[in-house]
Structure formats: C-alpha cells, structure tokens
Structure 1
Amino acid sequence: MAQPSDGADERPTTLGALRASGWVSRPIKQEIREHAIARVSAGEPLFAGVSGYADTVMPQLENALLAGHDVIFLGERGQAKTRMIRSLTGLLDEWMPIVAGSEINDDPYAPVSRHAINLVDELGEGTPIDWVHRDRRYGEKLATPDTSIADLIGEVDPIKVAEGRYLSDELTLHYGLVPRTNRGIFAINELPDLAERIQVGLLNVLEERDVQIRGYKIRLPLDVILVASANPEDYTNRGRLITPLKDRFGSQIRTHYPLDVPTEMEIMRAEAVPLDVETPDGQISVTVPEYLGEVVATFSHLARASNQVNQRSGVSVRLSVSNYEALSANALRRGLKAGERTITARVDDLDALPASSQGKIEIESLEEGREGFILDTLIKGAVLTVFKEAVDPGQTRAVVDAFEEGAIAHTGEEVSSDELARLIGEVDALRDPVMALTGGDESPAAVAAAVGFVLEGLHLSKRLNKDSSGPSATYRGRV
C-alpha cells in the first residue's frame, strides 16, 4: 500500500516494530470518543463547515459520540446530514496500521480475516504492516431498493472458486462494504429505502458486532461505528425502518433548517459559487448587496412557512444557494450586455429566481399553472419583509412626496447602472435611503441597486404605482 513520504519512514513496517513502538490498539468508538473529548475540552467544534447547529444538534451529537452510540440522523433534505457524517472522519487517528494486504483493515494485534490470520501465523513478528489514512476508513452506501446483502455484507467470489479453491475455503469470500470498513465508520444514506429483508441483515452488525456470509460457519467480529440518515417517516412512502433496527441505534438526532435568516445567509454565502469572471479585457466582479442576500434567504424562510408549499418534502438550504447563484448570474448577464465591469445585483435580477426554485419547491395547488404566481408572491413578500427592516420609513416620506409631485423613474434590465444612479440627482429625496443601503458607496452599480430596491419596496408597500412592460418598469406617484 502506497504511503505518503511525509512521516512514512518513521512508521513501523512489521508487527514486531509496531509492538516496539508502543502503538496501542483501541476500538473505533473509544478512538472517536478520545478525539471528541479533546475537542470538547478545548472548546472547539467537532468539525467545521456546519452552521446553525451549535445549540441544538451538536450537543446531541457530542453526547452520542461520548457514549459510543451508533447514530441515525433524522431530517428533511438539505440539512447537512451527509456532511456531518462524512466529517466524522476528522475524529479518527490520522494513520492506522493494518496487516499488509488485508481487505478488511485487520488489526495486527487481533486479525480476524483468514488472510491476516494465516499471515501472522506464518511470519509472526515479521508480518508486514501497511498504514491506512483516516479518509480511507470511511465507507458509504446510498440505500436503494435493489441493494443486496452481498453489497453490504459479502458473497462468494466465483472467480476465486474458478481458480481452484473449495467453496468451504474462507478465502473465496468477497467482502461487502461493511466488512471492508472494519475499524472505521460506515454510513448508509436514506436508510428507509433499504428493503426490510436487507435491514434485517444489519441487526447483527449493530448489536453482536459480527457478520455471517452465506452458509459459512464463520463469525467475523467487526469493529464498526454505523451512522445513518433518514427522512422523517411522514415524508417518504418509499419505505420504513423496521422496529428492531431502529431500536439498535443508540441515538436518534433530529436535524433542522436554519432557524433564522442570518444563519441561512451564512450558509448560502459559504456554499454559493462566486461569479468573478476573468476576461481578455480584465476581471469582471459581481456583488450581491447584503439586503438582496437577505431577500434570497427570507424567500426560503417564507416558503417554509407557506401553506401553499409542501412542507413534508422540505425546503432545502440548497434552494437559497441556487437562488443566490441565479441572482448573481442574472446580474452578470445584464452587466455584460451593458458593458459594465463592476456589477451589483439589483431587484430586477430577482426575476431569475422562479427558474432556480421550481425544481426545489413542491407547490400544493388545486389549479394548474399556479406555481409561477405563488413563487412570485413569495419573492415579493421577501422583498417587502427586508425593505421594512432595512429602510427607515422616515427617509422615504420625502421620496413618496417627490413622486406624487410628478417624478417618474424607469428601471429594468435595459436601464444601465449609470442611468439609474442619476436618479438620486434628479430626485434628491432618494439620496438618504440609498446611501443608508450602500453604506456610503457612491459607485453607480451600488447606487443603482439601492435605488431599485427602494422603489420596489415603496411599490410593494402600496406607496408608489408601478407599470410593468416585459423586463422594464416605470414607477410613479399614486395620485
């Protein structure tokens, strides 16, 4: 087994050298517990990259790991279940010794496979040792109805039989995913989708810690921590967890969506792909103002509270990420057409959200074709919610007065940032609320975005009229 040069020369290469080094074998759960204790004692999170769970999910997960439990995460789609499971490898030792050539990571001190037992019996202290990195001690299977016992536990290898070995020879076994993750972490995603007869095959793994393959009279004791994910039972009709299997998981941890908009925004900005484009003429950067980021996150929160959205299927954080990327992409496309180099997303770019939302939200409506209307209503609701929080009403009275006295504003994709930004010179009352939104940034792109947001917010507040014609709009007073 290839080993990286960094520190590889210092690791023992034989069983005798391993004993002399003082290396101590530990069960996988004890290993994880010790690393978890170190992080909790130091006030560090178990792993980075997961936000919004510090006071809810993480304490439960810490308890489960300290207790040495197998864990099942229960939650709707897009709640970082798989990410947390995969991150558990960070709680393993960086390198682990195995009997060289072992398919199931045999412990050199206590081998269980026939290959490793024979090798240790033959070579004794001279048994060669390989080292496995912690990333290779993780196995994962997405449960599907056609998953078989052979996939998970193992099967007779017909090629080895054809080579002349007897069926009774343990060396004819082809180990499944669970044995191959011996001394590591095995994860099953969407566990209820596993056929019930296959779930039965996991009972021994969780309780007796062994597997039996076909009719072989062998007991293969495994050292595995099993972690699974599942959607709530009222979400899926595709399958269910059998009661004995559910009973064998030590801890069931309920995940959730972000509880507030700032957390949703933190995740959204961390996950979204930035749109800074390098062209022959130089770099083009796209900025999404804080208030429009809030609109995208608020849209998801409103969808999760809407009775017109199927809440059993969930509204994933992936919706926020996709919408944030679509908003940025629309701004980039608009800016490229206008020949702009510095681009700031505007309210007009929110028109891209329905296309990136429809595949991620299940609308419940008795009428055909209502999806577009419902999504548009949610977007407008998000804009209005953020507008009321971000813009001081005292700064908009003079704006409304100016429009009632005859001021008119034209917006839309065809209107450049320079044209829209000139409005704060033509309608002086716009300056204060616009500068409050931009934080004093007077660049045309930032000013144009803030102008559009203020005008749309006043329209949705029923304080300005808006006439729309395709991608263009005209704002005027209500008098």
Structure 2
Amino acid sequence: MTAATPAPAPGAATLGELRASGHVHKPLRTEIRDNLLARLRAGEDPWPGLHGFDDTVIPQLERALIAGHDIVLLGERGQGKTRLLRTMVGLLDEWTPVIADSELAEHPFEPITHVSRLRAAELGDDLPITWRHRDERYAEKLATPDTSVADLIGDVDPMKVAEGRTLGDPETIHFGLIPRSHRGIVAINELPDLAERIQVAMLNVMEERDIQIRGYVLRLPLDVLVVASANPEDYTNRGRIITPLKDRFGAEIRTHYPRELDAEVAVVRQEADLVAEVPDYLVEILARFTRNLRDSSAVDQRSGVSARFAIAGAETVAASALHRAASQGEEDPVARVVDLETAVSVLGGKIEFESGEEGREDEVLTHLLRTATAETVRQHLRGLDLGLLVEAIEAGAMITTGEQVTARDFLTGLPVLGESELYDEICERLGATSDGARASAIELALEGLYLARKVGKDTDGAETVYG
C-alpha cells in the first residue's frame, strides 16, 4: 500500500504561539481513544489492510484501546500480529508538538525531564517547539536473548560521568527505547524471548511509569502504550512471559489465521510482490493449499503454517512464469498450473512436519496441492462438459506442457475439437483473454481431468504430457 502524503505540520514555533492557537494536550490513551471513536462514528475503517479479523480480533482490540490498556497479542507465526501493531499508528494525531531538542520528545505543556523543566522555566513562552509526525511516535523492538536493560530502559552514560557529573545526577542517564517512546507506542515482538530479568525491568515502566537504573529511581511520568506479540506458551520453547508482567497487560488477545478463503486470498494479493501475472484461480489454489496444510495431521500445528507460505508461493509461481518468458522469448509472462510444482519444491522447508512423517514430506505436500487444485477446479468449472476434450485425448491426442513450454506452443498443440467452443467456454469462465491466460486456464481444466482420473499424465523432467 502506498502511504498517504502527510499534511503540512502546524505553524506554531514557540510555546506562546502554541497556547494562542488553542491547542489542547491529551494523554496518549485519550488521544488514541478519541481518534478511534471518531473513526468508528464516521464509518471509516481504522484497520486498513487487515483481513479476517473483523468479527474476532478487531472488536477485542478496539475495546482494549478504548479502555486504555497495554496489549499483548498471542498467536502463531504469520497471523498478522506485527501488522496489527503497526496499524495502531494511524490512531495517533497526525502531528503533535514537542519541545525542540528534548531527549524524550516531551509535550511543551508537560516537560518531564530535569533539563526540559529548566528550559521551560527559563524561556517561558519563548520555549521553541517542533512538530512530530505520528510515524515517528512508533518504536518497535524484536526481542532477542541478548537484549539488555540498557536497550529497553537505559543506563548510566560513562561519558557524562567522565565530564564531571555525579552518579546521582539525572543528566547522567542514557535513556533506552521505552523512555524514548514517551507519548508514543512501543511494540516488542516475540516478548517471551526476552530474558526474565529484562522483563522484570519493565514492571515499573508499565505500572508505576517510572524507571529504575542501577538502583537509581528516576521519577518520570512516562506516557507510553506498551504493546507486544508472542507465540502461545504451548508452542514456544524459548521462554515465557513472567506472571507479574503478564498481569500488567490489560488485554491479552488471541489472533488466528484467516477463517475464510476470501480473506486468505486477499492477504496474498495484498502482500505478494508478483513479477508476472498470476491468475486468481492459481492464488486460490495456493490459499487452499495453505489451509489444507493447517488441517493436516502430518503437519506440526503447534508451529503453525504462516500466511507467508502462500505469499511466498505466489511470488515463486510468478518468478517461474517470468523465467520461462525470459528464456523462451514470451512477451507477457502468465503463471500456469505447471508452475505450482516449483513452489512446492522450493517452499517445502517452511513447513514443520510431525516426527513420524520423516521421508513422506514430498508425498504429503503433493497430495495436499492436488486436493487444493481439485477443489478449485470444481469451484470454477463446475457444470462445464469437458467430454469432447477427454474423447480427443482418448483417441490418441497428446498435450505437452512444462516449465519451459511457451503459452503459444501449448495452445498450438491442443487437439482440434471440431466446431466445439469448449476452449472459449473455459477461458470465459476463468476470465482469460491473452494467450498466456488462455494457456493457464486450459491447463487448469486438463489438471482437473487428470485429478478426476479422466485422462492420464506423465511427467518426464521439464515436460508434462497429458494423454
């Protein structure tokens, strides 16, 4: 998605000008609540680009934000947790005033650090201000075992001590990510990966809103919304969220994979960067394939099957089509059924199988892909009489396709069906107009006949023959 061009920042440049403009300072949670309620009243979607959560996750999330709660999202990999966290930025005011050059981007009406308070008292209405865009008020940290307290909370800066300041001087503190997110949202991905002692350091920040560094307590009325993501505890073996920290999150929301096929397809279409045309029915096959994997007893469902699997599958299929076009001189690359097999061979390693399935991985993947293809053929070609095509093949016609067989060569090799308009009917059903799209559509019909055991199929290296 292309981000909207931000509106120009307001013109106030000093505290006095800001007061004269009638600006009202709101706490962060109030700001988010007001903007969310305004969107809902106006009938606008506060969560663009999110699919499949409308009746489940989104209502829970909206209630949590209205309540002003810190939030943790629990779910397997690839369920859109990070995207959901990043979308919250849209609920912040587009521009907000900050004290110019302040370390924690404090609001001019409420300075909280020692330095900013001194400047505000000294300069009064001449205190210079700048404007901060909402995109700058979101900070994200991927939790890793080597993350330190200094990274998240802060530490004593030895350079400042060397300059002659005492350890008790608050100016010796070098602030970490959470204090620097003052008046903004801080997101911590994979929270259980944080060492427990690091999680303990977050307790005061989330409850009392102050920070403790090396035994020195610095009272800072931090105004931050802490949001986090985590895999369910029954899946991750790398760590856990400690009970006191878990208790400080006001809302724990479970995410899930798209429950409807249309939502799964929409996610692929939205996220995949396709270098060639991939017809809708091929994307649907990949979406069904992904959903079949999630239902398979051969796959370790505790690790999940990410939406990224279908996205990467669509990108691989498109790449296969472009590779064929480049090597064979095609002008308009269009993915075909034969390209799906390349996706399976490349993406199989993204799936974690149950321990008893060693050696059967390819068999399971092939079977589930064929099931997804058959379901898609039934959906789109139901009621279409393909008998003439079957008769032509039974009479000895051979139809050759393959990774390096061009659309034109494939179409030229189709058997003549007399006065029948069957090929046109297939293409009309599937919205195919160009040669590449027509080849793809007819190849889908042939694969459907093979899966229904109406025709045979033989694959030898790079060529596949229906006969």
* TM-score over 0.5 for the pair: yes
Aligned-pair identity in percent equals: 51
1:48, distance to aligned residue in structure 2 (A): 1.2
Partner of 1:447: 438
1:395, distance to aligned residue in structure 2 (A): 1.0
* CA distance in structure 1 between the partners assigned to 2:6 and 2:43 by the alignment: 33
* CA distance in structure 1 between the partners assigned to 2:21 and 2:435 by the alignment: 67
* CA distance in structure 1 between the partners assigned to 2:6 and 2:336 by the alignment: 51
Please, which of 450, 462, 466 is the counterpart of residue 453 of structure 2? Answer: 462
Helix, strand or coil at the partner of 1:335: helix
* CA distance in structure 1 between the partners assigned to 2:148 and 2:220 by the alignment: 19
Q: Structure 1 length normalisation: TM-score?
A: 0.91
Partner of 2:143: 143
Relative to structure 2, which stretch is displaced further, 447-456 or 71-80? 447-456
**Is residue 378 of structure 2 the alignment partner of residue 373 of structure 1?**
no
1:467, distance to aligned residue in structure 2 (A): 2.0
Partner of 1:65: 65
1:446, distance to aligned residue in structure 2 (A): 2.2
* CA distance in structure 1 between the partners assigned to 2:43 and 2:101 by the alignment: 39
Aligned ranges for residues 183-222 of structure 1 at < 5 Å?
Answer: 183-222=183-222
Unaligned runs of 5+ in 1: 276-285
For the 8 Å contact 1:81–1:255, the answer to whether it is kept is yes
1:433, distance to aligned residue in structure 2 (A): 5.1
For the 8 Å contact 1:153–1:179, the answer to whether it is kept is yes
Output the amino acid matched with 2:351.
I
Aligned ranges for residues 363-402 of structure 1 at < 5 Å?
Answer: 363-366=353-356, 368-402=358-392
Partner of 1:409: 399
**Is residue 321 of structure 2 the alignment partner of residue 331 of structure 1?**
yes
Partner of 1:435: 427
1:6, distance to aligned residue in structure 2 (A): 7.1
Please, which of 314, 323, 333 is the counterpart of residue 343 of structure 1? Answer: 333
For the 8 Å contact 2:298–2:357, the answer to whether it is kept is no
* CA distance in structure 1 between the partners assigned to 2:316 and 2:108 by the alignment: 53
CA displacement, residues 454-477 of structure 1 (integer Å, 9 cap, x when unaligned): 11111111111112211212222x
* CA distance in structure 2 between the partners assigned to 1:216 and 1:289 by the alignment: 62
* CA distance in structure 2 between the partners assigned to 1:191 and 1:114 by the alignment: 31
For the 8 Å contact 1:212–1:220, the answer to whether it is kept is no
CA displacement, residues 67-96 of structure 1 (integer Å, 9 cap, x when unaligned): 111111111111111112112111111222
Partner of 2:129: 129
Helix, strand or coil at the partner of 1:34: helix
Distance of aligned partners of 1:234 and 1:5 in 2 relative to their CA distance in 1, 3 Å threshold: closer
1:348, distance to aligned residue in structure 2 (A): 1.2
1:161, distance to aligned residue in structure 2 (A): 0.7
Distance of aligned partners of 1:362 and 1:183 in 2 relative to their CA distance in 1, 3 Å threshold: same
Relative to structure 2, which stretch is displaced further, 227-236 or 359-368? 359-368
Output the amino acid matched with 1:168.
G
For the 8 Å contact 2:74–2:230, the answer to whether it is kept is yes
Output the amino acid matched with 1:250.
G
Helix, strand or coil at the partner of 1:222: coil
* CA distance in structure 1 between the partners assigned to 2:7 and 2:241 by the alignment: 45
1:16, distance to aligned residue in structure 2 (A): 2.4
For the 8 Å contact 1:421–1:445, the answer to whether it is kept is no
1:178, distance to aligned residue in structure 2 (A): 0.8
Relative to structure 2, which stretch is displaced further, 172-181 or 376-385? 376-385
Unaligned runs of 5+ in 2: none
CA RMSD of aligned residues (A): 2.1
* CA distance in structure 2 between the partners assigned to 1:439 and 1:32 by the alignment: 44
Output the amino acid matched with 2:401.
T
Partner of 1:283: none
1:439, distance to aligned residue in structure 2 (A): 3.2
**Is residue 460 of structure 2 the alignment partner of residue 473 of structure 1?**
no
Please, which of 316, 339, 347 is the counterpart of residue 306 of structure 2? Answer: 316
* CA distance in structure 2 between the partners assigned to 1:414 and 1:208 by the alignment: 65
Distance of aligned partners of 1:413 and 1:99 in 2 relative to their CA distance in 1, 3 Å threshold: closer
* CA distance in structure 2 between the partners assigned to 1:147 and 1:40 by the alignment: 38
* CA distance in structure 1 between the partners assigned to 2:77 and 2:228 by the alignment: 14
Output the amino acid matched with 1:421.
L
Helix, strand or coil at the partner of 1:212: strand
Helix, strand or coil at the partner of 2:364: helix
1:270, distance to aligned residue in structure 2 (A): 1.5
**Is residue 298 of structure 2 the alignment partner of residue 301 of structure 1?**
no
Helix, strand or coil at the partner of 2:159: helix
For the 8 Å contact 1:420–1:451, the answer to whether it is kept is no
CA displacement, residues 414-449 of structure 1 (integer Å, 9 cap, x when unaligned): 4332232135551356526523444363x4322221
Q: Structure 2 length normalisation: TM-score?
A: 0.93
